[in-house]
Amino acid sequence: MGDPAHFSVRGGANPHTRNRLGLRKRVSRAEAIAQWHALAGALVSLDVRVFVIPPSDACPGLVYPANAGFLPDPGETPPTARFYLLSNLIETRAGETPVYRDFLSRLGFAPVQSRYRFEGEADFIPAGDVFLFTCGPLERQRFVPRFGLPPWRRVYGFRSEPRAEAELAALVPARKLLRLELVDERYYHGDTVLASFGPGRKHLLAYLPGLSPASRDLLEKYCGDHLIPLSDDDAALYAANSFALRFRGKHCLLMPVGVSEALLARVRETGVEPITVDVGEFLKKGGGSVKCMIGDLGELTTEEHLLPPEVAAFRKERDYRTLYGIS
């Protein structure tokens, strides 16, 4: 997770970051920091080890490390450096890449830059025995004239390009890829419309209007009864931007607060326990919610003596428990 001390709207690169006049929104820093700690504390209480990326005034988007890249191998046996595909981020966030590269290297990973426009876990989602790769048209972000008030609109586009598919497929040769097309700029990453969860990650929350008709058909055919369509209201709260995990043998789904009771009931029907947390400041001002704020590094060894000493020391130094004195 990325320390939120400098979280602000700098680039205004998605529809949530600007008001109807196109002006960038202002962040309540105190509220954001409190919400960030609530999310980190919830993860720690669920036995998740949280490593904290130091804040950077030049990179306020570090609070959304799901965009950092993608880890092909979620296990660590043996605990040596593992390949990590670094994202090729949108221009307004490109300055984050060197920060992620250094941080991941010091944690014991081997980051390599993607050749194409690709924004990590946000657009590459494990679901059952496949990976879902989401992409859409890349646009030069700009204001264009229109009839009405205001007399302009902002063009945003999407974040990962179709050409990245071959590169990603080579990293997960044992699994099939389903390429899905995003069509609504409010849902500019796949993890804003899709969330896999539960045993084998076979269940899927999906906001189908955020996908092209052909992609909806493909997804419905693949998922069958495991697909849970999201309502407009739940989708607008970024219900799909949820984080799946296991806690003491039980499957859980960490979800944004405010989602409907009907949706929570559907999740429970799958045998998964939903847990809600309020990160509304990050959605309303930055366009990211629970999953966006978490970069998933998979299973890490707890046997520190098996790690290079400098890696073990850095992991301890940047551990949320160490930083905030939690025993």
Q: What are phi and psi of 322, to 5 degrees?
A: -65, -45
Before 78, cis peptide (omega within 30)? yes
Q: Is residue 279 very low, low, confident or very high in pLDDT (cuts 50, 70, 90)?
A: very high
Q: What is the bridge-based pairing of β-strands 194-197 and 203-206?
A: antiparallel
pLDDT digits (tens, 9 = 90+) for 192-225: 999 999 999 999 999 999 999 999 999 999 999 9
**Class (C level, CATH) for 4-74+120-299:** alpha beta
DSSP β-bridge partners for residue 130: 127, 176
The 10s digit of each residue's pLDDT in 122-146 is 999 999 999 999 999 999 999 999 9
| Proportion of the chain above pLDDT 70, given as a percent | 99
Strands 203-206 and 227-229 turn out to be: parallel
Distance of CA 48 to the CA centre of its chain: 16
- Distance, in Å, from the CA atom of 236 to the CA atom of 278, rounded to the nearest integer, reads 14
For residue 326, the model assigns a pLDDT of: 87
Question: Domain segments of the chain: what residues?
Answer: 4-74+120-299
3-state secondary structure of 51: strand
List, edge to edge, every strand of the sheet that includes 176-181.
Answer: 124-127, 130-135, 176-181
